[in-house]
Amino acid sequence: MNLIFDSSSIISIATNNLLNILRELKKQFKGDFIIPSSVKKELIDNPIKGKKYKLEALIIQDLLEDKVLTIKKEKINYLMNLANSIYINKRKKIRIVHEGEIEAISMQNNNISVIDERTTRMLIENPMKLKELLEKKLHSKIHIDVKNLNEFKKLTENTKIIRSTELMTIAFEKGLFKEFIPKGKKKDFLDGLLWGLRLRGCAISSDEINQILRLKGF
C-alpha cells in the first residue's frame, strides 16, 4: 500500500512546518509516499522559478532527492474529462478538479489518496452535497449529468481518501511529536496541530476535530 499525495495535502503539511514529521513517518511506513508528476510541477517546478514559494519548493525537492517522496505519472485524460463533465450550469460544464487531484485518485490499486481539498473528496464521497454547495456558491441551479456521474463512481468506487489531519494524528500516536509536547499538554498539542492544518488549508470541520480528540481519549 502506498500513500498518494495531491498538492493540497503537501501544502497543508509544508505551511505548518511538518515536512520533517513526514520524513520521520516515512521511515515507519512500508509503502511509498508518491506525488503525481502534475503535483511536482505545481509544488516544485513552477514555484522554484519565483521568489514567494521558492524555499518550500526546495525543501520538497530535497524530500524527493532523499526518496521520502517518489514521482509517478498516470494517464488521466478520460477521468479528468469525466469529472469535469458531471456538473452543468447554464448549459456549461463546470471545471471542478485539476490534474493533481485526478492523478492522486487514479493511482488506487490498494493505495490511499491524501487529499485536503474539499471538492475532490466530496465528488467521490457525497456528489449530491457538492451539487448543493455549488448552487450556493454560484447562486444558480446546477444540473447533474447522471451518466457521467455513474461512470465516475464506477471508476472511483474503491478510492480511499484521508486528509493531512488523519495522517498527522497517526504521527502523533506514533510519538513523532513527543519532543515538542510540553508536560501535561498532549490534548492542547493535538488540538493545536489539527487547527493549524485546518487554518492552513485542510478541509476539516471543528466538529470533526473534536471527534478526533474524543477518539484519542481527550
Quote the pLDDT of residue 147. Answer: 95
Residue 101 has pLDDT above 90, yes or no: no
Residue 74 pLDDT greater than 80, yes or no: no
| 155: pLDDT strictly greater than 90 | no
Hey, CA dihedral for 163, 87, 76, 59, is it positive or negative? negative
Query: Among residues 196, 216, 213, which one has the least CA distance to residue 15?
Result: 196
Q: What is the pLDDT of residues 159-206, one digit of tens each?
A: 889 999 999 999 999 999 999 999 999 999 999 999 999 999 999 999
Strand partners, 5: 114
Residue 203 makes CB contacts below 8 A (sequence gap 6+) with 116, 117, 118, 121, 163
Q: Tell me what pLDDT residue 105 has.
A: 81
Amino acid at the residue 15: T
Q: Roughly how many angstroms between the first and final C-alpha of the chain, as a whole number?
A: 30
pTM of the model: 0.88
Q: Print the SS3 string covering 58-100.
A: HHHHHHHHCCCCEEECCCCHHHHHHHCCCEEECCEECCCCCHH
All structural domains of the chain: 1-178 (3.40.50.1010)
E strands within the chain? 3-5, 33-36, 70-72, 87-89, 92-93, 112-114, 143-144, 161-162
- The pLDDT tens digits for 36-73 are 888 999 999 999 999 988 988 999 999 999 999 999 88
Q: By C-alpha distance, which of 77, 9, 7 is closest to 41?
A: 7
pLDDT given for residue 171 in this prediction: 96
